[in-house]
């Protein structure tokens, strides 16, 4: 029987190095007014490239990839522990070669791309020479792919794409977009769409505007319009009609990584509120002496530890089964729980810091907004809760209890008497 809550010493050394490296060298990059995805910015590259080389020298570059693509092929548990450290430092994923959405896009091209596509797009993407965008969500459809109307029609030896996409993350920096479009409107709902590689400089691709999350001065969530965009037929990724299945596989591991980065963010918030609590003076001592503050600290610690264990258990299940479908319920559960844990801890941190907490001199309101983003990105919380419920209820589908079920106390007492009363009668008769 194997049941352990320890990290093996060799890998723990790597995590310890990562923790110091991210804290001392990577976090400060986020305060210099440059964007981690702006790969054409000479100043950004001058600062980032040496750090990336340090990571490569340590054998920690793009660890989600297999050795054939330059990574370590780590499982989800190791990747989860790494992502806990990467959370909260905006440049950390870029420095370690595991930034979304490039990781998922690279996975798709590695599995479904042609040799030419892998040479043109995959290799420079893996080296962070270029970045990409996943153009999926639509203004009228939200994140529900079955409501998408962007279409792609085969026209000779090209696909012609028309439609609009909303919140295509990092579209403004992207060299190419992976676009989901309806190719067979008469097919079953989950088989109507296909995926395409679309170079961003293709005629007809228009970035209408770049939207920022509230509080950002400069946004990179692109609103993209496709007007008679023609791409070669071989720019189809996977099979026609396979976009939904591909996207679900792409998102499974990513949700674990988001969750562990959220753990890292929450740990920083808990650290900040704890330091504030023992430092902020009152008439009689510090605010840490008040039970209300103690309750907030305790709730934050308990919720964070519960959430982390749930995420790592889910990561362990993915490693064990090597099949995301078998872990679908738990992946949905941690995705649904993530924004609540993040929100509640961020809210308490703000409250304990008082007016300083809501000011633009602290990053805490950004964390609060970030928790709301986590409740929308990769599917809204409500959708994931429905998935959890449906998956959980599957094992009860054949149950048809009567009006008074057999687990009622009356029924259970009757069964207990039937089981043990005859034995008592035999004992009494023997005596």
Tell me how far apart the alpha carbons of residues 378 and 137 are, in angstroms, rounded to a whole number. Answer: 10
Cβ contacts of 247 within 8 Å, gap of 6 or more: 136, 145, 180, 195
Cβ contacts of 346 within 8 Å, gap of 6 or more: 266, 269, 364, 367, 368, 370, 371
Instruction: For residue 146, give the DSSP letter.
Output: G
> What pLDDT shows up at residue 249?
62
Tell me how far apart the alpha carbons of residues 107 and 130 are, in angstroms, rounded to a whole number. Answer: 15
Nearest CA to 335 out of 299, 365, 392, 375 is that of 375
Virtual torsion, Cα 264, 268, 269, 275, nearest 10 deg: 160
Look up residue 413 and give its two tokens. 């007492």
Residue 40 φ then ψ, to 5°:
-95, 5
- Helix, strand or coil for residue 165? strand
> What pLDDT shows up at residue 421?
75
CA angle at 339 for the pair 178 and 357, rounded to the nearest 5°: 115
Instruction: For residue 26, give the DSSP letter.
Output: I
Are 278 and 288 contacting, i.e. CB atoms less than 8 angstroms apart? Answer: yes
Cβ contacts of 178 within 8 Å, gap of 6 or more: 105, 108, 132, 133, 134, 135, 195, 196, 197, 198, 237
Are 379 and 328 contacting, i.e. CB atoms less than 8 angstroms apart? Answer: no
Tell me how far apart the alpha carbons of residues 43 and 40 are, in angstroms, rounded to a whole number. Answer: 9
Tell me how far apart the alpha carbons of residues 211 and 213 are, in angstroms, rounded to a whole number. Answer: 7
- Supply the pTM of this predicted model: 0.91
**Could you read off the pLDDT tens digit of each residue along the chain, which spans 431 residues?**
677 888 999 999 999 999 999 999 999 999 999 999 999 999 999 999 999 999 999 999 999 888 988 889 999 999 999 999 998 899 999 999 999 899 889 988 988 888 888 999 999 999 999 999 999 999 987 767 888 999 999 999 999 999 999 999 999 999 999 999 999 999 998 899 999 999 999 999 999 999 988 877 778 899 999 999 999 999 999 899 999 888 766 666 678 888 999 999 999 999 999 999 999 999 999 999 999 999 999 999 999 999 999 999 999 999 999 888 899 999 999 999 999 999 999 999 999 999 999 999 999 999 999 999 999 988 899 999 999 999 999 999 999 999 999 999 999 999 998 888 766 665 666 66
> What pLDDT shows up at residue 250?
63
Strands (E), 82-157: 132-135, 151-155
Tell me how far apart the alpha carbons of residues 339 and 401 are, in angstroms, rounded to a whole number. Answer: 36
């Amino acid at each position: 029987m194997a049941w352990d809550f320890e990290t093996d010493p060799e890998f723990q050394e790597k995590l310890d190095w990562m923790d110091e490296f991210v804290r001392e060298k990577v976090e400060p990059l986020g305060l210099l007014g440059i964007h981690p995805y702006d790969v054409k910015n000479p100043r950004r590259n001058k600062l980032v490239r040496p750090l990336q080389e340090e990571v490569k020298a340590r054998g920690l570059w793009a660890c989600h990839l297999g050795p054939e693509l330059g990574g370590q092929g780590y499982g989800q548990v190791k990747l989860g522990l790494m992502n806990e450290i990467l959370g909260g430092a905006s440049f950390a994923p870029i420095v370690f070669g595991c930034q979304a959405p490039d990781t998922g896009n690279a996975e798709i091209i590695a599995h479904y791309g042609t040799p030419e596509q892998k040479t043109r797009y995959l290799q420079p993407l893996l080296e962070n020479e270029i970045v990409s965008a996943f153009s999926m969500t639509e203004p009228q459809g939200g994140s529900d792919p079955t409501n998408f109307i962007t279409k792609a029609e085969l026209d000779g030896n090209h696909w012609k794409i028309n439609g609009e996409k909303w919140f295509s993350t990092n579209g403004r920096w992207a060299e190419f977009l992976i676009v989901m479009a309806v190719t067979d409107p008469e097919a079953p709902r989950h088989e109507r769409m296909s995926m395409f590689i679309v170079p961003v400089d293709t005629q007809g691709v228009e970035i209408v505007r770049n939207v920022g999350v509230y509080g950002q001065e400069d946004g990179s969530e692109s609103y993209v319009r496709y007007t008679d965009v023609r791409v070669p037929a071989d720019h189809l990724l996977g099979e026609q009609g396979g976009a939904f299945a591909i996207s679900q596989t792409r998102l499974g591991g990513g949700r674990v990584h988001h969750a562990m980065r959220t753990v890292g963010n929450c740990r920083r918030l808990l650290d900040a509120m704890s330091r504030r609590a023992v430092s902020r003076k009152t008439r009689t001592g510090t605010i840490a002496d008040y039970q209300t503050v103690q309750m907030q600290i305790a709730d934050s610690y308990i919720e964070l530890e519960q959430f982390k264990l749930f995420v790592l258990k889910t990561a362990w299940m993915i490693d064990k089964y090597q099949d995301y479908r078998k872990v679908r319920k738990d992946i949905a559960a941690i995705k649904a729980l993530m924004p609540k844990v993040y929100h509640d801890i961020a809210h308490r941190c703000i409250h304990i810091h008082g007016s300083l907490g809501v000011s633009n001199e602290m990053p805490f309101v950004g964390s609060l907004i970030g928790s709301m983003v986590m409740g929308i990105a990769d599917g809204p919380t409500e959708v994931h809760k429905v998935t959890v419920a449906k998956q959980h209820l599957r094992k009860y589908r054949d149950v048809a209890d009567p009006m008074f079920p057999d687990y009622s106390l009356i029924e259970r007492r009757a069964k207990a008497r039937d089981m043990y009363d005859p034995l008592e009668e035999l004992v009494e008769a023997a005596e």
